[in-house]
């Protein structure tokens, strides 16, 4: 009998596979001193397995279900309904029915119970599955309990639960259902306690939501709950909701809604003393489980009973510090235009390349700026630099400082903080030979590593890469290279500030930096137009490329008329730019050379939308517009007092910006090129490990740090469980949105644009490329799904260099992430595209196909009728 039923006192949190997530948590809660949990038991997953075996017809339906995609809604709805009907109609064998009803003799056969689903993939640290399966309240009598146990088993296959599993990569056959049968309590008030603020993420603030009656009214969204915030043992904020109804148990079983008397509707459901006591209980539960909890509670006769606790899965993790000090973290991904999580190998390569250690959390990297904020000498320069680049980050940091209690000023014991290279003076001369020399040195170094790495394997390969990373760091942080980058940035700032002061000209540098030389990223987009020119005259090749699915399509091209030239053009482009790809700062992400089919929609779009020679014409048009703008500005300056001096100084800065602005993109190109050399060599080594049965698949190396991979190569042994855990964690990180600024309390601080000069309804952002444009918004989250026409405005979360080939086809750009000198902004200016970045929630607020107006000079977007 015990294999089918376990009492709460027999269960702990290690038994999730037997009693599901909810059951395991309830058993563990029952063990915490001072925590009251209503009595009950669990019907185990073994009982569920027995019922599944009684219904063999389900097997075929599960096979069909597993082949569906989350968007196949009609098929999911029909198949899941069939499975539920089979399970609900399957008779429970007598011995199993006796096992389930036996504990009722002890707990009370005529008592009321909650019968609750408890799936094995539920209430996990990485996926809550909250609300995906069913709960039944106020169930009375053995027959009714058996009936509702069957319904809970069937609820594993509700449409929403099936879709959730498909979206989150859970195998239907590997998720099993247990059922919790728990004595009902009849509370005066009930609700939810979050031991961390679910809105801000602050781990030191507990949030209590409360309403009258059973908590179902609150969970179902039927009432406006009372909300209390508790910090350090006191209520720091409270909002009393108007509670017009409550849910109570019905004498005939189940529940019913009841109206609340008008005089009670605005009364608080709890006293502040009760709220504080509840928060203290929550802290005890949180300490036991070791992470913030989402807790369901009931108040019965001034005594709190806990009916559920699960991890809060939506909180962004806090970087581990362990020193008890306050820290303020800035997101690296927002600077690099890649806010997706990185796999462990990608993170460790970044750490090995960075000039100083970075903090890690949720698969993302952060820079701790607490010390810089605490120092009066460095604070101003940090806020100025960050505020120029990304005003939202600057405002968030100022918010932390304005509170006055999180970061306290300390005497300056060290020199003022400067960004890497920021302390180096810009070159005095404006000599294009500086850029040519830097690029040539980078190319020579890359050629050497390509040559030398071919002879390395095993541990020697890892040693070689580790040593070569020092050479990469030397080039990335070479003072002359950093001076060249800063010369372009600082001359841009100078031109914008001085020309606005002297002439009232906003963002003048945007036009002046069109079609600058040596911008490897913008050249990449124009070069793909040249590839289209080679392919366009050959209709057989165009037709073939429209239906390609296999990555080896280049080998097939020579069989077609014009195919050899087309293949050579694509390969030449891949030789130059094939190491790039979406999310390229993570060495583990796919590159164009690895998946050349991702290029085909871009090439075919260029063939359709452009005439021959468009690349050269586009560059020349931008160069002429920049020259024309330069002549106009110099002429206007000469008409001013001290005009000749102003014009001469401005001309010097224009020459400087056109010399150095393009180089801004080159260090990253060299860096990504080198990473791709490492990656190809490491994947060859991984293939050897697969052949030796050390690894299951090559890509498993992506879930190891560099040092762990070194150890695996050296010992020919790997921890398979560690790789599985890392894969699960990575999946959970993909569902999280990283904050721009995060404190060591876990508080995500968004920042705000402090502007009141905008039209009503405008979406505010950062102006990064001047001009105003109207057009059709194309909201695109995956570059592979881009279907753009000339005149469209691209609206997306972020753009890294891999998106540049799309820029030739659009008229404007709007992104949720970005700053003045991030890649999308630089390329938008070079192509002359009006652009606004840092528009919070742009992809949700703007619908695909809407007409919008982008004000690239003033930094806002209007949605048009």
User: Would you say how long the chain is, in residues?
Assistant: 865
Q: What are phi and psi of 769, to 5 degrees?
A: -150, 120
Q: Pairing between strand 772-779 and 851-855?
A: antiparallel
Distance CA 19, CA 24 (A): 6
DSSP 457-521: -HHHHHHHHHHHHHHHHHHHT-HHHHHHHHHHHHHHHHHHHHHHHHH--TTTHHHHTTT-TT-HH
For residues 281 and 298, is the Cβ–Cβ distance under 8 A? no
Query: Is the dihedral angle over the CA atoms 719, 724, 725, 729 positive or is it negative?
Result: positive
End-to-end CA separation in angstroms for the chain: 67
Distance CA 451, CA 433 (A): 27
> H or E element: which one contains 570?
helix 563-577
Distance CA 246, CA 298 (A): 14
Q: How many helices (H) and strands (E) does the chain have?
A: 33, 26
Q: Beginning with the edge strand found earlier in the chain, give each strand of the sheet holding 135-140 in spatial order.
A: 5-7, 40-43, 177-183, 112-119, 135-140
Single out the catalytic residue among 327, 823, 841, 855: 823
CB atoms within 10 A of CB 356: 8
Of 763, 841, 814, 838, the C-alpha closest to 331 is: 838
Four-point Cα dihedral 583, 587, 591, 593, nearest 10 = 160
Give the angle subtended at the CA of 737 by the CAs of 736 and 739, to the nearest 5°: 130
The label of the residue with tokens 């004000």 reads: 855
For residues 843 and 795, is the Cβ–Cβ distance under 8 A? yes
For residues 87 and 157, is the Cβ–Cβ distance under 8 A? yes
Give the contacts of 315 (CB within 8 A, at least 6 positions apart): 196, 198, 201, 203, 292, 746
Four-point Cα dihedral 736, 741, 742, 748, nearest 10 = -60
Distance CA 722, CA 470 (A): 29
Q: Which two tokens stand for residue 608?
A: 């359709």
Q: Which residues of 3-25 are buried (b: 16+ CB within 10 A; e: fewer)?
A: ebbbbbeebebebbebbbbbbbb
Distance CA 357, CA 351 (A): 6
The label of the residue with tokens 């540049």 reads: 804
- Can you tell me whether residue 86 is helix, strand or coil? helix
Q: Pairing between strand 792-796 and 810-815?
A: parallel
Q: Which two tokens stand for residue 633?
A: 């500005």
Distance CA 532, CA 612 (A): 8
CB atoms within 10 A of CB 94: 8
Please indicate whether residue 823 is annotated as part of the active site: yes
Residues carrying an active site annotation: 823
């Amino acid at each position: 009998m015990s294999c089918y039923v376990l009492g709460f006192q027999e269960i702990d949190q290690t038994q999730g596979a037997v009693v599901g997530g909810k059951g395991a948590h309830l058993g563990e809660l029952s063990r915490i001193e001072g925590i009251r949990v209503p009595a009950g038991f669990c019907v185990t997953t073994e009982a569920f397995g027995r019922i599944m075996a009684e219904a063999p017809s389900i097997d075929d339906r599960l096979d069909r279900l597993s082949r569906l995609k989350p968007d196949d809604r009609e098929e999911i709805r029909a198949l899941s309904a069939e499975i539920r009907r089979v399970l609900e109609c399957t008779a429970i064998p007598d011995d199993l029915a006796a096992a389930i009803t036996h504990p009722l003799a002890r707990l009370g056969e005529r008592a009321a119970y909650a019968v609750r689903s408890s799936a094995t993939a539920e209430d996990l640290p990485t996926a809550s599955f909250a609300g995906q399966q069913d709960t039944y309240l106020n169930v009375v009598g053995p027959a009714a309990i058996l009936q509702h146990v069957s319904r809970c088993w069937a609820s594993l296959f509700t449409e929403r639960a099936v879709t959730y599993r498909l979206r989150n990569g859970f195998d239907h056959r590997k998720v099993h259902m247990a059922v919790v049968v728990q004595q009902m309590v009849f509370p005066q008030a009930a609700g939810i306690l979050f031991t961390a603020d679910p809105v801000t993420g602050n781990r030191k603030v507990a949030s209590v939501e409360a309403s009258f009656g059973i908590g179902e009214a609150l969970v179902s969204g039927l009432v406006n709950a009372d909300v209390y915030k508790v910090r350090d043992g006191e209520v720091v904020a409270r909002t009393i909701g108007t509670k017009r109804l409550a849910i109570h148990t019905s004498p005939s079983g189940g529940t019913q809604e009841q109206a609340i008397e008008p005089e009670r509707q605005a009364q608080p459901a709890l006293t502040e003393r009760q709220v504080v006591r509840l928060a203290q209980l929550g802290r005890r539960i949180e300490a036991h489980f070791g992470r913030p909890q989402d807790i369901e509670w009931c108040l019965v006769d001034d005594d709190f009973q806990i009916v559920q606790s699960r991890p809060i899965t939506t909180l962004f993790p806090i970087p581990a510090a362990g020193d008890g000090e306050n820290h303020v973290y800035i997101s690296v991904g927002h600077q690099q235009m890649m806010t997706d999580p990185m796999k462990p190998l990608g993170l460790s390569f970044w750490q090995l390349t960075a000039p100083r250690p970075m903090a890690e959390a949720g698969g993302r990297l952060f820079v701790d700026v607490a010390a810089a904020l605490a120092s009066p000498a460095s604070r101003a320069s940090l806020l100025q630099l960050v505020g120029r680049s990304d005003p939202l980050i600057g405002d968030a940091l100022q918010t932390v400082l304005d509170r006055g209690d999180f970061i306290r000023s300390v005497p300056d014991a060290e020199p003022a903080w400067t960004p890497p290279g920021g302390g180096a003076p810009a070159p005095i001369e404006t000599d294009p030979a500086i850029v040519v020399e830097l690029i040539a040195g980078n190319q020579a170094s890359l050629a050497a590593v390509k040559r030398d790495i071919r002879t390395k394997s095993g541990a020697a390969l890892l040693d070689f890469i580790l040593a070569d990373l020092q050479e990469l760091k030397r080039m990335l942080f070479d003072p002359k290279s950093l001076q060249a980058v800063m010369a372009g940035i600082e001359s841009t700032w100078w031109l914008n500030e001085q020309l606005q002061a002297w002439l009232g000209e906003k963002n003048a540098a945007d036009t002046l930096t069109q079609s600058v030389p040596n911008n490897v990223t913008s050249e990449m987009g124009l070069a793909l137009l040249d590839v289209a020119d080679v392919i366009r005259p050959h209709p057989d090749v165009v037709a073939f490329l429209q239906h390609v699915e296999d990555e080896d399509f280049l080998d097939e091209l020579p069989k077609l008329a014009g195919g050899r030239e087309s293949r050579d053009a694509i390969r030449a482009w891949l030789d130059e730019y094939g190491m790039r790809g979406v999310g390229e700062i993570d060495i583990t992400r796919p590159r164009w050379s690895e998946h050349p089919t991702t290029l085909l929609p871009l090439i075919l779009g260029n063939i359709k939308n452009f005439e021959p020679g468009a690349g050269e014409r586009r560059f020349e048009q931008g160069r002429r517009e920049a020259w024309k703008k330069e002549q106009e500005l110099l002429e206007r300056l000469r008409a001013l007092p001290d005009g000749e001096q102003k014009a001469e100084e401005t001309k010097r800065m224009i020459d400087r910006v056109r010399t150095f602005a393009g180089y801004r993109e080159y260090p990253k190109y060299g860096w990504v090129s080198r990473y791709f050399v490492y990656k190809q060599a490491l994947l060859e080594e991984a293939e050897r490990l697969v052949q030796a049965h050390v690894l299951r698949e090559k890509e498993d190396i992506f879930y190891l740090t560099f040092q762990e991979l070194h150890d695996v190569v050296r010992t020919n042994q790997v921890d398979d469980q560690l790789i599985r855990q890392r894969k699960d964690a990575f999946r959970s990180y993909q569902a999280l949105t990283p904050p721009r600024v995060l404190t060591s309390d876990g508080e995500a601080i968004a920042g705000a644009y402090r502007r009141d000069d905008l039209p009503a309804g405008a979406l505010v952002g950062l102006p990064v490329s001047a001009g105003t444009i109207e057009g059709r918004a194309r909201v695109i989250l995956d570059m592979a799904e881009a279907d753009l026409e000339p005149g469209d405005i691209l609206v997306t979360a972020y753009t890294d260099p891999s998106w540049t080939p799309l820029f030739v086809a659009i008229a404007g750009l709007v992104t949720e992430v970005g700053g003045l000198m991030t890649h999308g902004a630089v390329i938008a200016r070079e192509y002359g595209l009006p652009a606004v970045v840092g528009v919070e929630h742009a992809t949700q607020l703007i619908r695909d196909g809407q007409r919008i107006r982008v004000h690239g000079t003033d930094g806002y977007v209007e949605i048009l009728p």
